[in-house]
């Protein structure tokens, strides 16, 4: 919509690619085609074939209100329950004590982190954990050193008051100097830290899409050139830091697409983590994309230990993580986490690399049933998730078509 591209003689324009498939085996056949295509031709990087570390993200525990001491206490407990990667989320830079300020600045907040990111990362890794970090490199707050110095670096249209989205604007990635600024600061930070994982976030829709870097007759090229700038940054990151896992995010799944999968091993599927809703979201996501691309976290467990089992049973159908304050959860809840991680590791090869078959569609049935199997059908991971309460006791008969006829399967739970 509103797109136009001036193409002078001798220049080339590459249109976005589309992927189509056909199957006479229903949705399972269609999604199987897409899954194989994504795994074989889209996903790349040094972590493509490796098991991903189970992580704990600190956001749900502290939001912006953290100190190094709080983070280290949380990391120590995470290590004790079997977590392998500790992720520091938003709030570590500039005057970032809320979502109104700081985006665009990369100066570490020394009030929160006296030793900087490097000092925190070293202490975390000394515990035997890997360390990960959150970025939102495409955005800028008006209350930031970057915007005060370079207001022209934000996407905006002359004569129009820019709209705020989450108190922020987007940086004009059509400008080489903006991309150079991001590259410089990320390089300086990551070159001095033992980092395994980066969450590349983006929490704003494009609006007032204009750039004074381009002449008036080329303003309709800005949205497309913006995405080319995003891909250029991610391509640089992928080549510069090949051993870092990239998880892309856009308020969750706002950029859950093949273009982003070329650069990141996984995508944060959605900010909505309630298990009933998440079951539907994951059902839809896996219609086109394999489970290996989904980041799925257990969050907000209450005092009922059974609740964390329910959330875990949903979250294991992607790359597993946790978002909670495990220092304050019930001891019975905490005690289950090591067993959950151990079980997930047993199933991970099926979830990450196996074939997925759907049996019950959650939006239509009030439940979800699906299974993963390896190539010869000797292993099957079957899940049944009730997403709606029912006053009746309903029995379901599930046909596992990939089970080997005449074989005996053993439930190893």
Active site residue 201: yes
Could you give the CA distance from residue 119 to residue 121 in angstroms, rounded to a whole number? Answer: 6
Contacts of 380 (CB under 8 A, 6+ apart): 350, 371, 372, 373, 400, 402, 403, 409
Sign of CA dihedral 327, 202, 280, 49: negative
Active site residue 306: no
Contact 276, 301 (CB under 8 A): no
Of the residues 90, 105, 172, 201, only one is catalytic, namely 201
Could you give the CA distance from residue 281 to residue 291 in angstroms, rounded to a whole number? Answer: 12
Contact 384, 395 (CB under 8 A): no
Count how many Cα atoms sit within 13 Å of the Cα of residue 382 in the half-sphere of its side chain: 18
Helix (H), strand (E), coil (C) string for 195-244? CCEEEECCCCCCCCCCCCCCCHHHHHHHHHHHHHHHHHHHHHHHHHCCCC
Of the residues 65, 271, 304, 306, only one is catalytic, namely 271
How many Cβ atoms sit within 10 Å of the Cβ of residue 157? 15
Residue 28's H or E segment, with its range, is: helix 26-37
User: CA–CA distance from 42 to each of 8, 34, 36, 266, 338 (Å)?
Assistant: 31, 10, 10, 12, 33
Hey, which residues are catalytic here? 201, 271
């Amino acid at each position: 919509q509103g797109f136009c591209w001036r193409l002078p003689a001798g220049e080339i324009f590459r249109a976005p690619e589309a992927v189509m498939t056909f199957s006479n085996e229903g949705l399972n056949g269609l999604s199987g085609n897409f899954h194989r295509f994504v795994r074989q031709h889209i996903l790349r990087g040094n972590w493509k074939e490796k098991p991903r570390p189970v992580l704990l993200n600190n956001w749900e525990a502290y939001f912006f209100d953290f100190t190094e001491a709080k983070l280290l206490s949380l990391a120590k407990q995470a290590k004790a329950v079997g977590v392998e990667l500790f992720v520091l989320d938003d709030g570590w830079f500039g005057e970032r004590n809320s979502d109104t300020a700081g985006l665009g600045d990369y100066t570490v907040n020394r009030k929160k982190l006296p030793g900087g990111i490097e000092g925190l990362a070293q202490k975390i890794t000394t515990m035997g954990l890997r360390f990960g970090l959150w970025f939102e490199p495409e955005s800028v707050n008006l209350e930031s050193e970057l915007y005060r110095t370079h207001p022209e670096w934000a996407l905006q249209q002359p004569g129009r008051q820019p709209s705020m989205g989450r108190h922020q604007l987007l940086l004009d990635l059509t400008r080489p100097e903006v991309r150079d600024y991001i590259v410089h600061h990320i390089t300086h930070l990551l070159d001095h830290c033992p980092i395994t994982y980066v969450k590349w976030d983006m929490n704003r829709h494009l609006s007032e899409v204009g750039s004074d870097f381009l002449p008036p007759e080329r303003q309709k090229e800005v949205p497309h050139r913006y995405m080319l700038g995003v891909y250029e940054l991610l391509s640089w990151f992928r080549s510069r830091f090949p051993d870092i896992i990239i998880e892309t995010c856009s308020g969750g799944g706002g950029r859950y697409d093949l273009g982003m999968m070329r650069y990141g091993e996984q995508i944060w599927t959605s900010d909505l983590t309630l298990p009933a809703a998440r079951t539907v979201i994951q059902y839809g996501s896996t219609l086109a994309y394999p489970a290996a691309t989904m980041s799925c976290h257990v969050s907000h467990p209450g005092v009922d230990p059974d609740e964390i089992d329910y959330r875990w049973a949903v979250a294991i159908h992607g790359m597993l993580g946790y978002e909670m304050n495990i220092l304050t959860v019930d001891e019975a809840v905490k005690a289950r986490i090591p067993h959950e991680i151990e079980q997930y590791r047993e199933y991970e090869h099926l979830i990450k690399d196996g074939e997925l078959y759907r049996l019950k569609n959650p939006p239509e049935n009030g439940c979800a049933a699906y299974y993963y199997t390896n190539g010869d059908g000797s292993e099957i991971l079957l899940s049944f998730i009730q997403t709606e309460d029912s006053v009746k006791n309903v029995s379901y008969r599930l046909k596992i078509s990939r089970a080997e006829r005449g074989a005996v399967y053993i439930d190893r739970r």
